[in-house]
A and B are shown apart, each in its own frame.
Chain A
Amino acid sequence: MEHTPPPFFKRGPAPLVRLAFFASLSVALLVLDARFRYADGLRQALMLAAQPLQEFAALPGELAGRIAGYFSSQTQLQDENAALRRQLVEASLSVQRLQAALAGSEQLRRLAGAAERRGDRGTAAEILYSARDPYARRVIIDRGTQHGVRAGSPVVDEIGVVGQVTRTYSGASEVTLLVDKDQAIPVQVARNGLRAVAFGSGVSGMLELRFMAANAEIEAGDRLVTSGLDGVYPPGLAVASVTRIERDAANSFARILCQPAAGVERGRFVLVLSAEARAAPYPEEATTGSERDTRTGKVRRARKKAADGA
Chain B
Amino acid sequence: MVPERRQRILLPVRVSWIVGSFAAALLLNFVPWQPVGLAPDFVALALAFWCLRQPRLVGLGAGWLLGLLTDAGSGVLLGQHALAYSLLAFSAITLSRRVLWFSVWGQALHVAALLLVAQGVALAVRLAAGADFPGWMLIVSPLLGAALWPVVSFVLLAPQRRPIEVDETRPI
Give A residues with C-beta under 8 Å from B. 1-4, 7, 15-16, 18-19, 21-23, 25-30, 32-34, 39, 42-43, 46-47, 49-51, 53-54, 56-58, 60-61, 128-136, 138, 140, 167, 174, 181-182, 202-203
Tell me which of B30, B60, B64, B76 contacts A54 (CB under 8 A).
B30
Is B148 an interface residue when CB atoms closer than 8 A count as contact?
no
Which residue on A lies nearest to B141, using beta carbons?
Answer: A134
A50 contacts which of B36, B72, B83 (Cβ < 8 Å)? B72
Contacts of A54 in B (CB 8 A): 30, 73
Contact with A along B144-167 (1 / 0, CB 8 A): 000000000000000000000000
Q: Is the CB of B74 within 8 A of A132?
A: yes
B29 close to A132 (CB less than 8 A):
yes
Q: Let me know if A133 and B93 touch, CB within 8 A.
A: no
Q: Whole-angstrom distance from the CB of B94 to the nearest CB of chain A?
A: 7
Q: Which of B67, B71, B72 has the most CB of A within 10 A?
A: B72
Contact, CB under 8 Å: B26 / A53: yes
B-side interface residues, number (CB < 8 Å): 58
Separation of A39 and B72 alpha carbons in the complex (Å): 10
Q: Which single member of A23, A26, A47 contacts B72 (CB below 8 Å)? A: A47
Distance between Cα atoms of A4 and B64 in the complex (Å): 26
Task: Contact check, B56 vs A7: say whether CB atoms are below 8 A apart.
Answer: yes
Query: Which residues of the other chain, A, contact B72 by a CB distance below 8 angstroms?
Result: 42-43, 46-47, 49-50
Q: Are A33 and B79 in contact (CB under 8 A)?
A: yes
Complex contacts, B68 vs chain A, CB 8 Å: 29, 42, 46
The smallest C-beta distance from B60 to any residue of chain A, in angstroms, reads 5
CB atoms of A26 and B86 under 8 A apart? yes
Contact A134 B36 (CB under 8 A): yes
**Contacting residues, chain B, for A132 (C-beta < 8 A):** 29-30, 32-33, 36-37, 39, 74
Q: Using Cβ atoms and an 8 Å threshold, which residues of chain B touch A203? A: 132-135
